[in-house]
Amino acid sequence: MFSLGHFLTLSSFGESHGTAYGGIISNFPAGIKLNLDLVQVALDRRKPGQSHITTARKEEDQVEFLSGIYEGKSTGAPISFIVKNKDTRSSDYKNIETNFRPSHADYTYEKKFGIRDPRGGGRSSARETLNWVVAGALAKHILPENLAIYSYVSQVGDIIMPSMPDINDDFYLKIESSPVRCPDAMISKKMEDLIQEVKIEGDSLGGVVETQIKHVPIGLGEPVFGKLHAALGHAMLSINACHGFEFGSGFAAASMRGSEHNDEFREDFSTRTNFSGGIQGGISNGMDIYFRVAFKPVASISKVQNFVNKEGVLSPNGIVGRHDPCVVPRAVPIVEHLAAFILADFYLINKIRK
């Protein structure tokens, strides 16, 4: 059971090779008009089998709402939902019943719990993330209408966008028209070619998902242990294969001087620069929030590497199954909707305080 949020909370459940995944959202305000078609659109952006550079697994990922919604509006009761699995292939995981795969959670799960479900990775499966996309798509209905979240791929392997792109009217279209979800068409093609090349080799790649959030209300976040950037970091680092999170200037701040890094004010209280990434003292200051999420290369590769069994005997093996050669294109809607859920949570906390 995974829980996220302080006031608005999501609890999710399920198994990757069980019948379904599902979730329960508590404290969702009553009377919110919901466009459930947009929730399904969000899930469609995350689902497997989207293109030649993603897993070949085919899932419809149709969400079914069980409670908390009546005649298109939230009732104030917990919103519960399920998404049924259709295209499971448990036989693909037969060779890891007694073997631990390198860089997977097999060994740590076995040691912690004394038992694990090897089919699809069990609780470490990225199927878990579909619940988070549903929750974030619903949470967007709570946020101010002008608040906009743009997540996109800025790096795959050693191919990197040269700078943070400017947001324009067709920016979202640029993201979604790219199979890699990179808004720069030239860079996107290079990324796509590299992923395809690595896929043929039976290997995998990592990358970075970058996010810009526009028109954020001032005052979201709490001092000390409820800082907005800490909550965002917690959510992003919960995503499978995530290996890093930085907001604003991030690690580059370590090599700067205060006179360079300080965001000087304008008379309207905006700032001339935005090295703070829209968050100061853990609280949003009204400037754009931006952050980056780094993903490691997917651990499931068909290239032969040393597995180890429960007796400590090494055996050369390759992973059989349908896996993404690069997770970042499908991670984009996950990052976007987790960010929406966190912002909606703090937005409701602010409303309650007032």
- Give the tens place of pLDDT for each residue, 99-155: 888 888 889 988 999 988 887 666 778 888 999 999 999 999 999 999 999 999 999
Instruction: For residue range 258-275, list pLDDT tens digits in order.
Output: 999 999 999 999 999 999
Counting the structural domains of the chain, the total is 1
Greatest mean pLDDT range, 58-67, 179-188, 344-353: 179-188
The domain of 200 spans 2-353
pLDDT over threshold 70, residue 354:
no
Q: Give me the pLDDT at residue 58, please.
A: 65
pLDDT given at position 244? 98
pLDDT tens-digit series, residues 279-304: 999 999 999 999 999 999 988 888 88
Is the confidence at residue 255, as pLDDT, over 90?
A: yes
252 or 300: which leads in pLDDT: 252
Q: What phi and psi, each to the nearest 5 degrees, are found at residue 329?
A: -60, -40
Model confidence at 206: pLDDT above 90: yes
pLDDT-derived band of residue 12, with 50, 70 and 90 as boundaries? confident
Query: Does the pLDDT at position 1 exceed 60?
Result: no
We report the CATH number of the domain holding residue 338 as 3.60.150.10
- Compute the mean pLDDT over every residue in the chain, rounded to the nearest whole number: 91
Q: What is the per-residue pLDDT across 25-81, written as a single tens digit (0 to 9) for each?
A: 999 999 999 999 999 999 999 987 666 776 655 668 899 999 999 999 999 999 999
Over residues 304-324, the mean pLDDT reads 83
Question: Which pLDDT score, from 0 to 100, does residue 164 have?
Answer: 93
Res 13: pLDDT: 82
pLDDT for position 2 = 63
The pLDDT assigned to 128 comes to 86
Confidence check: pLDDT of 241 > 90: yes
Mean pLDDT of 6-12: 93
Q: What is the pLDDT of residue 120?
A: 66
Cβ proximity of 300 and 321 under 8 Å: yes
Q: Nearest-CA neighbor of 212 among 185, 237, 240, 183?
A: 183
Is pLDDT above 90 for 229?
yes
pLDDT of residue 49: 64
- Give the residue-averaged pLDDT of 245-269: 98
- For residue 16, pLDDT beyond 70: no
Res 344: pLDDT: 98
Listed in sequence order, the residues at least 6 apart from 349 whose beta carbon sits closer than 8 Å to its beta carbon are 6, 7, 222
- Identify which of 78-92, 136-150, 302-316 has the greatest average pLDDT: 136-150
What is the per-residue pLDDT for 347? 97
Percentage, residues of the chain above pLDDT 90: 71
**Mean pLDDT confidence for 153-170:** 95
Looking at residue 195, its pLDDT comes to: 95
Whole-structure pTM value: 0.94
